[in-house]
Amino acid sequence: MDEQQPNSVWTSNSFWKRSAGWVTGFAVVLLMFLTFDTMTQITMGTDQDLKDGITKRVPAATVINYQIGYKMDYSRGHEMPVIGKPELFFGKTWSVKEANQLLNLGKLTEQSKDCMNCHTLLGNGAYYAPDLTKAWLDPMWKKGGVMQLMTHTKTKEEAMAAFLQYPVKYAIHVRKMPNLKITAKEAQGLVALLKQMSSIDTNGFPRGFSRNVQDFKQGVSNAH
Ligand code: HEC
């Protein structure tokens, strides 16, 4: 016998070659579909969406002009961000242009100060310090909460901005955040970033971010 005949399909080279071709082709089509699906899911909403009450996974920068709360969604089995009534942010309502500029400043500051070296944002970064994805919704910033009392401020955003500029002075954990020489304007940008990030529907990630059961039962009304 000079040539070996395949005695079953499992030992046939051409079968495996064809199978590899089909599997690769199928995976390419599936990945293309998933890419397009993801693109539509993560495309930022517009200011008009917010005005029309249309919920997008990633709301526009002007979401900083609204209350953001959270409530348990039992059908999905996790907490969901809820965009509520309009509210002032650092004492004003931000136009589309201003809100985008502030958010960009926040993103640039976040990158240049390397917050992810210690924190996690939207699943990226470290766990040396608290996850920041939903930091805006942390009950400690709310009215009457420890941070507003300590920083002598009257709003969440002012309390956060004060903490970011003077994290050692307003430290609440034994493990302290170092002073990163963040300016007042940069702090505003970072708070805008944190507020917008908290409004993103992250499928309930990070799990149990609300920590405080009472808070998420009360939803938006208790958010500020
Ligand atoms: C060297 C590590 C480090 C870096 C870099 C860092 N942080 Fe922190 N951060 C910490 C630690 C530690 C804490 C907890 C300290 C505390 O609460 O007093 C903290 C706390 C915080 C909190 C409060 C968390 C909460 O539960 O609401 C916020 C908000 C915050 N950081 C934002 C930032 C931002 C924004 C940046 C980037 C500009 C940043 N941090 C960079 C270490 C860091």
Q: Which CATH architecture has domain 45-222?
A: Orthogonal Bundle (1.10)
Measured torsion, CA atoms of residues 163, 165, 171, 172, in degrees rounded to the nearest 10 = 20
Per-residue tokens: 114: 């390397």
> What pLDDT does 5 receive?
63
Q: What is the pLDDT of residue 213?
A: 39
What does the pLDDT read at residue 45?
95
pLDDT of 211: 53
- Predicted local distance difference test score (pLDDT) of residue 217: 43
Pocket of ligand 1 contains residue 184 by CB under 6 Å: no
**Would the CB of 138 count as within 6 Å of ligand 1?**
yes
Low-confidence ranges of the chain (pLDDT < 70): 1-6, 209-224
HSE on the CB side for 45, CA within 13 Å? 22
pLDDT in tens, 158-199: 999 999 999 999 998 889 999 999 999 999 999 999 999 999
Mutational test site, ligand 1, from 105, 113, 116, 118, max ligand atoms within 8 Å of CB: 118
Q: How far is the CA of 32 from the centre of ligand 1 (A)?
A: 38
Q: Tell me, using a 6 A CB cutoff, whether residue 171 lines ligand 1.
A: yes
- 3-state secondary structure string across 82-110: EEEEECCECCECCCHHHHHHHHHHHHHHH
Ligand 1: which of 133, 142, 177, 210 to mutate, most ligand atoms within 8 Å of CB? 177
CA pair distance 158, 84, nearest whole angstrom? 20
**What residue's CA is closest to ligand 1, atom 27?**
135
Nearest protein CA to atom 20 of ligand 1, as residue:
177
- Which pLDDT belongs to residue 222? 40
The pLDDT value given to residue 55:
86
Q: Where are the domains of the chain?
A: 13-41, 45-222
